[in-house]
Structure 1
Amino acid sequence: MIDVQRLRVLRAVAEHGSFNRAATALHLTPSAVSQHVAALERSLGAQVVARSTRGVTLTPAGQIMVGAAESVAAELEHAQQRVDQLNTGRVQLTVATFTSGGRLLLPGALARLMPAHPRTVLHVREGEPEDTLPLVRQGAVDVALAYHFDGPLPVGPGSTSSLEWTPLLEDPLHVVLPQGHRLARRGALDLTELAAEPWVLGCLKTESYLRRFAERAGFAPEVRGTTTDYFFARSLVAAGMGISLIPSIALTPAIPGLCTVPVTPPGPIRHIGVATISNRDRPHVATLIEALRAQAMRQHHTLP
């Protein structure tokens, strides 16, 4: 029988990357953490972490067990929610979302959810996918509105198999320039044509994508500003600080003096969707996902 507490300790080790930091988070001693992991390895007959002077990393067996640990944590959290519903007649629903996606899709979806499930107590929290998707796997968040570019979902250590991903919307990025820019009237732009331009970006992931593309194309972008707000980035473009790369859903409200130009295919695209663990016995979650899908279909026809 696998001890649940040992799984909890292993999950903390995976999250924090060392026995010492995991011990601090769990209010245990490093020796106790080490003993829990050693006992788990004995019960499994397999090594779950690889120890080095730079910390610890999960072995393949450890990745399997961290995935199991998060599934167990999620099931226990959902069981607690069902018990609370029996006691109070109310059900808790925690939704996480990134800013631009939440602004576009969430209000309309919630307007459909609440009349259908009036006993739902709703909580909304903002965060980037690399922070919110692990919370879904752990049961701390029921639904995460998230996105990814051209790689796997950023869910952290362990298996991603416990996550159910429902695609909602493809969100292409556009070049935003001042109206008087020499390229502002082009029907589409290749990013290599912008190698000499200064950039102002509204998201660290957009900057990371641009730098990867630029490295493959043989140039280094001059990034003069990075913000966490696309509207602010567009405002800086309007002020003449540079140009930007902005997702379609973040191009409203309009700012006077700006021009938006698509990127020549295949251009960068954010894939927006919903992550959950399971909708089983959770009709309020299923209703919200369907409402988000309907909202995404309506918005698809209005995007640039």
Structure 2
Amino acid sequence: MIDVQRLRVLREVARQGSFAKAAAVLLFTPSAVSQQIAGLERSVGVPVVERSTRGVMLTEPGRLLLEAADVVFAELRTAQERIDRIAAGHPRLTVATFSSGGRRLLPGALTAFVAAHPDVEVNVLEREPEDAVPLVREGVADLALAYHFDGPLPLVQGDRPVLEWTPLMDDPLSVVLPAGHRLAGREAVDLADLAGERWVLGCTKTEAFLRRYAERAGFEPVFAGGTSDYFFAQALVAAGVSVSLIPEVALDRSAAGVAVVPIRPPCPARQVGLVTSRRPADPGLVETLAGLLTRAAGQG
């Protein structure tokens, strides 16, 4: 029988890439970590890690064990969450969301959800995808409203057996200009039309994204500053500081002093979706809210 504690140690070694770093996280000594891995290897009969001067890597059997461990710990977390909810005496649902998605998509969905389930305690946590996804993985959140740009999904190796990504909508980015800008009256612009402009970021992740698209358009963007709030960035644009690249769900079209102009294809966009557990603690509640969010995204 494979020891669950040894699987826990293997997971941390895989995450940290070394026995010493795993030991620091687990509050073990490196020797204790080594002993746990050696015991695991004895129980399965094959090496599960390869040691080198560059650190520790999993063997193929080790990777199979890691996938199994992720499923085992996801099941244990789900069971504990169900027990906690029974002990609390009332159902609850925790949602993690990035701020602009929470502002645009979540309120309407939650209004309908609370009306249909007034006895459910709803908790909302504002988190960026890189912080929201682990909350679902660890059973702290039941679902996460998240996004990614043109890179991979916001999941890590080992998430596939326990987490599911459901696409909700494409979220195209538009250029936001001061109202008196020379391009403010255009129906659409090429990104190359904005070469030489100063840019303000509404999210730090937008910088690498903008740089890639600007490179394709033949220019190097000049940055006037950055914020962690798209709505603040639009206020800076209205003040005449710069121009900005803003996703659809974060646009404030009622804001004074700015003009929103779409970008001609290839138009930069991010993808918004839901991250849920494949074995949620309360499948009915998660499915209901997921459906309401899907409807909200379709109406957006």
Deviation at 1:103, TM superposition (A): 1.0
Change (3 A) 1:32 1:231: same
Change (3 A) 1:279 1:6: closer
Q: State the partner residue of 1:245.
A: 245
1:171 aligns with 2:171: yes
In structure 1, how many angstroms separate the alpha carbons of the residues matched to 2:188 and 2:299? Answer: 25
Deviation at 1:82, TM superposition (A): 2.1
Deviation at 1:62, TM superposition (A): 4.3
Q: Please report the TM-score for the alignment, with normalisation by the length of structure 2.
A: 0.89
1:256 aligns with 2:256: yes
Deviation at 1:54, TM superposition (A): 4.7
Change (3 A) 1:260 1:106: same
In structure 1, how many angstroms separate the alpha carbons of the residues matched to 2:278 and 2:173? Answer: 31
Deviation at 1:121, TM superposition (A): 2.6
Change (3 A) 1:140 1:2: farther
Q: State the partner residue of 2:94.
A: 94
In structure 1, how many angstroms separate the alpha carbons of the residues matched to 2:216 and 2:43? Answer: 47
Q: State the partner residue of 1:127.
A: 127
Deviation at 1:264, TM superposition (A): 0.8
Deviation at 1:217, TM superposition (A): 4.0
Q: State the partner residue of 1:215.
A: 215
In structure 2, how many angstroms separate the alpha carbons of the residues matched to 1:190 and 1:49? Answer: 51
Deviation at 1:279, TM superposition (A): 5.7
Question: Following superposition of structure 1 onto structure 2, how do residues 90-169 of structure 1 map, counting pairs within 5 Å?
Answer: 90-169=90-169
Q: State the partner residue of 2:299.
A: 298
In structure 2, how many angstroms separate the alpha carbons of the residues matched to 1:285 and 1:138? Answer: 16
Deviation at 1:48, TM superposition (A): 4.4
In structure 1, how many angstroms separate the alpha carbons of the residues matched to 2:134 and 2:46? Answer: 25
Deviation at 1:209, TM superposition (A): 0.6
Change (3 A) 1:212 1:23: same
Deviation at 1:49, TM superposition (A): 4.3
In structure 1, how many angstroms separate the alpha carbons of the residues matched to 2:56 and 2:226? Answer: 33
Deviation at 1:31, TM superposition (A): 1.9
Change (3 A) 1:122 1:12: farther
In structure 1, how many angstroms separate the alpha carbons of the residues matched to 2:220 and 2:41? Answer: 47
Deviation at 1:87, TM superposition (A): 3.6
Q: Report SS of the residue matched to 1:256.
A: coil
Contact 2:173 2:245 in 1 (8 A): yes
Contact 2:50 2:59 in 1 (8 A): yes
After superposing the two structures, state which structure 1 stretch, 241-250 or 29-38, moved more.
Answer: 29-38
In structure 2, how many angstroms separate the alpha carbons of the residues matched to 1:266 and 1:161? Answer: 34
Q: State the partner residue of 1:270.
A: 270
Contact 1:90 1:120 in 2 (8 A): yes
Q: Report SS of the residue matched to 1:271.
A: strand
AA aligned opposite 2:155: V
Deviation at 1:155, TM superposition (A): 1.9
Deviation at 1:40, TM superposition (A): 3.0
Contact 1:177 1:237 in 2 (8 A): yes
Q: Report SS of the residue matched to 1:114.
A: helix
Q: Report SS of the residue matched to 2:206.
A: helix
AA aligned opposite 2:141: V
The size of the alignment, in residue pairs, is 299
Structure 2, unaligned runs of 5 or more: none
Q: Report SS of the residue matched to 1:109.
A: helix
In structure 2, how many angstroms separate the alpha carbons of the residues matched to 1:82 and 1:64? Answer: 27
Change (3 A) 1:58 1:266: farther
Q: Please report the TM-score for the alignment, with normalisation by the length of structure 1.
A: 0.88
Contact 1:64 1:158 in 2 (8 A): no
Q: State the partner residue of 1:195.
A: 195
1:81 aligns with 2:67: no
Give the root-mean-square deviation of aligned CA atoms: 2.4
In structure 2, how many angstroms separate the alpha carbons of the residues matched to 1:58 and 1:159? Answer: 16
Change (3 A) 1:74 1:238: same
